[in-house]
Amino acid sequence: MNNTAIATQPAGTLHNYLAPVFAQYPLEVVSAEGVWLRNRIGERILDMYGGHAVASLGYGHPGWTAALTRQAQSCNFQTNAVPMSVRVRAAERLIRFSQLDFASVFFVNSGAEANENAMKLAFRMTSRSHIAAIEGSFHGRTAAAGAVTWGAAQKWYGFPRAPFDVSFIARGDMAAIEQQVTDKTAAVIVEPVQGLAGAVDLGAPFLEALRRRCDEVGALLIFDEVQCGVGRTGYPFAANMYGVMPDMITTAKALGNGFPCAALLASAKVTATLKLDLLGTTFGGGPMACAVMEAVIEAIESENLLERVRRVSAYIRATCIVGPVTGHQGAGFLTGLRTTRPAKEIQAELLECGILAGTASDPNILRLLPAFILEEEQVDMLRDTLTDLPT
Ligand SMILES: Cc1ncc(COP(=O)(O)O)c(C=O)c1O
């Protein structure tokens, strides 16, 4: 077990001219390999947070690095106006990987941008002006994505008004689904497993009820799988895990393993409404992004990482309910550990022992979002460290 104190540094020392909008961990990373980060004085830190769920393959993955290098050397950029086989391959690969009945992919750059485009399509298809979202949701910081984010209006929204009508449904509240999703509703947007809220698994019955109600009133169902998608639950998407088919899935984070990219997967019904110039982007679907998306999916499939996520996440749940941890929630490698004390305290104590974990908007949830290559013996290090912390 590793209980040697790690040399942390005071938060904020690396801000310089960067906009002072991020609270920073007392840790400067200078290099990384696998699931390990290295700080300035050469100490190793086990990364159980994966850069907000981004580092799906971990650091320095050879296939990912080679794909990025190859594409950078052959052609680093062309817009969507110029056909490139790597873009076609990435779209095909993503749809095949999903094992879901999607007909097209629109590549963008970030989760918020994918959500903006999904909602825009829903408004156009239905000629309606209302979106229903779920309490606790996080969908991004842009005008539309922020408008459907729970609590944004009170905390950070910043735009003078929401660009459309929004209402929120309490988690698990079946009656509220009937009331809030009506013939005025263009779409319901939902994270099947809520991320920032603290790895909250909304469960199949609730998601099935949303699907049924959307069908009844002619609204579209959008799964925001920016955080929980691309293998993080141990399934290609949470939609596979729950057996609920949305009209659109938005995804990002794990899809690029650190190279910025995002995607909007659309059903045949949605795809049939697409026409020239309806959507656009400069960087989305760039060849470097497409090469890395292909490499990420290739690695997940060829290294059997979905099975690994299911196995090792079950091991976390079976072994890490120790010390100040009393329970778990979430799915796969979107795990919330319930803590007796404020999770921020435990996060700080873990970091001093060489483990980086995350927190959530629930103050008693420690959020784990490790790379899919995590092994049981690394979980043992977490378990042993948690065991020694005050309860
Ligand atoms: C579920 C979910 N949706 C959307 C977003 C926004 O993604 P981005 O920061 O790439 O715009 C996030 C980011 O944390 C997220 O977790």
This prediction's pTM: 0.96
Instruction: For residues 330-337, give the mean pLDDT.
Output: 98
224 Cβ below 6 A of ligand 1: yes
State in Å: Cα 22 to ligand 1 middle.
Answer: 16
Q: Is the pLDDT of residue 45 over 60?
A: yes
* Least confident window among 9-18, 44-53, 277-286: 9-18
Confidence band of 1 (pLDDT split at 50, 70, 90): very low
Map residue 185 onto helix, strand or coil.
Answer: strand
Q: How far apart are the CA of 6 and the centre of ligand 1, in A?
A: 30
| Residues 6 or more apart whose Cβ sits within 8 Å of residue 174 | 205, 206, 209
What whole-number distance in Å separates Cα of residue 140 and Cα of residue 128? Answer: 22
Q: Is 171 in the pocket of ligand 1 (CB under 6 A)?
A: no
Q: Whose CA is nearest to atom 13 of ligand 1?
A: 140
* CA 259 to ligand 1 center in whole angstroms: 15
| Confidence band for 2, pLDDT divided at 50, 70 and 90 | very low
Give the Å distance between the CA of 369 and the centre of ligand 1.
14
- pLDDT tens for residues 90-132? 999 999 999 999 999 999 999 999 999 999 999 999 999 999 9
Mean pLDDT score across all residues of the chain: 96
CA–centroid distance, residue 209 to ligand 1 (Å)? 24
Instruction: Work out which ligand 1 atom sits closest to the CA atom of 142.
Output: 11
* 112 pocket-lining for ligand 1 (C-beta < 6 Å): yes
The pair of three-digit structure tokens given for residue 147, joined into one six-digit string: 């408008």
User: Hey, which residues does 29 pair with through a beta bridge?
Assistant: 39
- Ligand 1: nearest atom to the Cα of 260: 10
Assign 222 a pLDDT band (cuts: 50, 70, 90): very high
Residue showing tokens 């079950």? 314
CA of residue 159 to ligand 1 center, whole Å: 18
Dist CA 233 CA 143 (whole Å): 28
pLDDT (tens digit, 9 = 90+) per residue, 169-211?
Answer: 999 999 999 999 999 999 999 999 999 999 999 999 999 999 9
Q: How confident is the model at residue 158 (pLDDT cuts 50, 70, 90)?
A: very high
Q: Is the CB of 195 under 6 A from ligand 1?
A: yes
Q: Is 111 in the pocket of ligand 1 (CB under 6 A)?
A: yes
Nearest to 134 by CA among 167, 169, 178: 169
Q: Ligand 1 in contact with 198 (CB < 6 A)?
A: no
Looking at ligand 1, which atom is closest to the CA of residue 252?
Answer: 10
Residue 139 CA to ligand 1 center (angstroms) comes to: 5
226 pocket-lining for ligand 1 (C-beta < 6 Å) = yes
pLDDT of 11 over the 70 cut? no
Q: Convert 39-53 to b/e letters by CB count within 10 Å (16 or more is b).
A: beeebbbbbbbbbeb
Q: Whose CA is nearest to atom 7 of ligand 1?
A: 111
